[in-house]
């Protein structure tokens, strides 16, 4: 650029070759007067000044571009390992205003989580045989709430244990019947929010997955490897379809939940979904005019009214010792999935309920595809100027084929292994133990040659649940015989997992000098997680 401009404004008097047509065109006119010559020289000087200024700006921009690093972080791990929750922690830490502005958008997701937990309890206490499926029925059951499937000591999913009806079942079922319709409405609203793009909500068939008991390989398809972003699938968020309700057992409905199992409801990108609900689907006249907080509680059709009316019965159901006993017999631990809100029914179903940060962190919405989140660190940060791109992927098996296209263009991977899940099986394949699946995935990631120079950070997650589980007497060696007769306390077990995952990295990494940063985490714990995120050495060292 600089050379080209200098040619356009040459110092006068320099000899030029007349064979060069450009030089010939720039020659002063043959009978130029002294005034014309002065004007021409002044114009040439001005042009050179402008040209030099542009050159300086180009150089500055180039310097700035080089200074401004883009760090790409990929969140990996099986479904329900805590990837989206970790992304939420990044958002809360670095873009708190945006996170807070979006909190209201999570209201319907939280309602749906609560309603589904109630439905799972009703199914568990029901005497009907279809609520106690056998192992063979699991082939097509990716719609089950995943963490609900616990392996009992006889090796069968515990929810397969049948039982007689719990006293009061009929009354609970009758009084909570409005929640069935509400569940359908919530799913319909979440999959069809009132904004243009989300109107395109579509029903996606699950991509084929043909393996039982084996993880698919994480190789990059050749088409994807070549083309970078263009080969990446569109980001989507999916709402796991309902089980018996969505299977259509409660009559025909135009709702998208009336899908056969194995199909997912998807809406375009998180931002559209959040935007649609942040605006409020049911605004009261007051909010529409005054720009005040939406007064959804004034809208008689808002879901909060059904929930509010059913709240006392929901509380009774959850507190009923007979119900708790049945859940224990079936080893259904709702607190390990979306059951968190069961302890908060009164607050969550209040008419003016506004989700807290914690509620949003614990809200469960399955990710389908890959969601990208970009943020720059604040000017005061020592990492100012660094732009972070975090990719949150769907972790269920049919989703994993979407990971590989991101491998050749990433700086760091945060891999989440939920170590509390040693007695659980995958929702998408109940023949596979969740911990085994995490080991398998970890091995595939750390051994992948495309990732050999990528920083690897391992979050051994759900330590809070692990602690509780061990304290409740669940023994690791019953599910993982290699643990032998080591002590079954939290310190020993967590240390064992740390060593085991660390040793696997050491054995399988193609880059023996790579350091692997391992953290024991509970990513729903904001204080601890944010300390790890901001102090992590891996964060400073990101290439």
Ligand X SMILES: Nc1nc2c(ncn2[C@@H]2O[C@H](COP(=O)(O)OP(=O)(O)OP(=O)(O)O)[C@@H](O)[C@H]2O)c(=O)[nH]1
431: nearest Cα among 228, 211, 124, 259: 211
**Is 512 annotated as ligand-binding?**
no
Dihedral sign from CA coordinates of 406, 447, 75, 192 = positive
Phi-psi region of 13 (alpha: psi -120 to 50; beta: other; left: phi over 0): left
433 binds, options ligand X, Mg ion, none, Cβ within 5 to 8 A by partner type:
none
Nearer to ligand X, 237 or 307 (CB): 237
Closest approach of Mg ion to the CB of residue 367, in Å: 3
Element of type H or E holding 2: helix 2-8
455 binds, options ligand X, Mg ion, none, Cβ within 5 to 8 A by partner type:
none
Burial 373-383 (b: 16+ CB within 10 A, else e): bebbbeeeeeb
**Is 41 annotated as ligand-binding?**
no
339 binds, options ligand X, Mg ion, none, Cβ within 5 to 8 A by partner type:
none
Sheet containing strand 387-393, edge to edge, reads 370-376, 387-393, 70-76, 412-418, 455-461, 516-520
Where does 355-489 have alpha helices with state H? 357-362, 434-447, 463-471
By the criterion CB under 6 A, which residues form the site for ligand X? 77, 79-85, 338, 362, 364, 366-367, 394-396, 461-462, 464-465, 522-524
**Is 139 annotated as ligand-binding?**
no
What are the CA-CA distances from residue 180 to residues 340, 343, 448 (Å)? Answer: 20, 20, 46
Report the C-alpha gap between 90 and 80 in whole angstroms. Answer: 17
Dihedral sign from CA coordinates of 159, 164, 170, 175 = negative
82 binds, options ligand X, Mg ion, none, Cβ within 5 to 8 A by partner type:
ligand X
SS3 370: strand
Task: Sort 342 into a burial class: Cβ within 10 Å, 0-12 / 13-18 / 19+.
Answer: buried
Closest approach of ligand X to the CB of residue 212, in Å: 19
Closest approach of Mg ion to the CB of residue 88, in Å: 10
Closest approach of Mg ion to the CB of residue 392, in Å: 6
Nearer to ligand X, 264 or 302 (CB): 264
Closest approach of ligand X to the CB of residue 452, in Å: 25
77 binds, options Mg ion, ligand X, none, Cβ within 5 to 8 A by partner type:
ligand X
Closest approach of ligand X to the CB of residue 367, in Å: 3
Specify which residues 237 forms β-bridges with: 267, 367
**Is 76 annotated as ligand-binding?**
no
Task: Sort 292 into a burial class: Cβ within 10 Å, 0-12 / 13-18 / 19+.
Answer: exposed
Nearer to ligand X, 85 or 215 (CB): 85
**Is 210 annotated as ligand-binding?**
no
Closest approach of ligand X to the CB of residue 331, in Å: 17
Nearer to ligand X, 284 or 338 (CB): 338
**Is 462 annotated as ligand-binding?**
yes
Nearer to ligand X, 410 or 463 (CB): 463
**Is 83 annotated as ligand-binding?**
no
419 binds, options Mg ion, ligand X, none, Cβ within 5 to 8 A by partner type:
none
**Is 302 annotated as ligand-binding?**
no
149 binds, options Mg ion, ligand X, none, Cβ within 5 to 8 A by partner type:
none
By the criterion CB under 5 A, which residues form the site for Mg ion? 83-84, 367
Nearer to ligand X, 85 or 272 (CB): 85
**Is 366 annotated as ligand-binding?**
yes
Task: Give the residue ranges of the annotated binding site.
Answer: 361-367, 461-464
Task: Give the residue ranges of the annotated binding site for GTP.
Answer: 361-367, 461-464
């Amino acid at each position: 650029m600089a050379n080209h401009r200098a040619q356009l404004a040459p110092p006068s008097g320099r000899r030029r070759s007349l064979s060069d047509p450009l030089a010939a065109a720039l020659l002063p006119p043959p009978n130029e007067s002294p005034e014309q010559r002065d004007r021409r020289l002044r114009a040439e000087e001005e042009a050179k000044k402008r040209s030099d200024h542009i050159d300086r700006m180009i150089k500055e921009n180039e310097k700035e571009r080089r200074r401004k690093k883009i760090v790409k972080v990929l969140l990996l791990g099986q479904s329900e390992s805590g990837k989206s929750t970790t992304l939420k922690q990044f958002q809360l830490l670095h873009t708190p205003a945006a996170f807070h502005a979006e909190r209201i958008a999570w209201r319907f997701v939280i309602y749906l989580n609560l309603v589904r937990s109630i439905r799972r309890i009703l199914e568990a206490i029901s005497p009907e045989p279809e609520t106690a499926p056998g192992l063979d029925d699991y082939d097509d059951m990716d719609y089950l709430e995943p963490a609900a499937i616990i392996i009992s000591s006889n090796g069968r999913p515990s929810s397969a244990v049948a039982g007689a009806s719990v006293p009061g079942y009929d009354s609970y079922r009758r009084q909570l019947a409005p929640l069935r319709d509400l569940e359908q409405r919530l799913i319909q609203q979440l999959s069809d929010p009132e904004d243009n793009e989300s109107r395109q909500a579509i029903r996606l068939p699950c991509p084929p997955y043909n393996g039982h008991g084996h993880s698919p390989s994480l190789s990059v398809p050749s088409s994807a490897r070549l083309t970078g972003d263009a080969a990446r699938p569109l980001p989507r968020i999916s709402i796991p379809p309902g089980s018996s309700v969505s299977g259509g057992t409660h009559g025909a409905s135009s709702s998208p939940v009336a899908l056969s199992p194995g199909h997912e409801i998807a809406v375009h990108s998180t931002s559209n979904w959040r935007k649609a609900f942040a605006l409020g689907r049911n605004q009261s006249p007051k909010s529409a005019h005054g720009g005040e907080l939406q007064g959804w509680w004034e809208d008689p059709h808002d879901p909060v009214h059904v929930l509010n009316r059913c709240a006392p019965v929901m509380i009774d159901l959850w507190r009923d010792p007979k119900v708790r006993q049945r859940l224990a017999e079936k080893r259904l631990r709702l607190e390990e999935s979306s059951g968190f809100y069961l302890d908060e029914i009164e607050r969550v179903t209040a008419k003016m309920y506004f989700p807290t940060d914690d509620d949003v962190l614990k809200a469960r919405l399955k990710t389908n595809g890959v969601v990208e989140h970009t943020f720059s660190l604040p000017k005061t940060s020592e990492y100012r100027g660094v732009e972070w791109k975090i990719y949150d992927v769907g972790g269920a098996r049919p989703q994993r084929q979407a990971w590989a296209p991101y491998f050749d263009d990433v700086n760091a991977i945060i891999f989440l292994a939920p170590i509390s899940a040693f007695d659980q099986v995958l929702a998408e394949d109940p023949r596979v133990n969740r911990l085994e699946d995490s080991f398998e995935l970890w091995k595939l990631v750390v051994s992948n040659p495309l990732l050999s120079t990528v920083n690897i950070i391992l979050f051994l997650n759900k330590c809070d649940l692990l602690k509780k589980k061990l304290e409740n007497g669940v023994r690791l060696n019953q599910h993982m015989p290699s643990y032998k007769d080591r002590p079954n306390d939290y310190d020993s077990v967590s240390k064992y997992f740390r060593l085991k995952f660390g040793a696997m990295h050491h054995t399988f990494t193609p880059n023996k000098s790579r350091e692997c940063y391992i953290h024991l985490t509970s990513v729903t714990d904001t204080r601890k997680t944010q300390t790890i995120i901001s102090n992590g050495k891996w964060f400073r060292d990101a290439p």
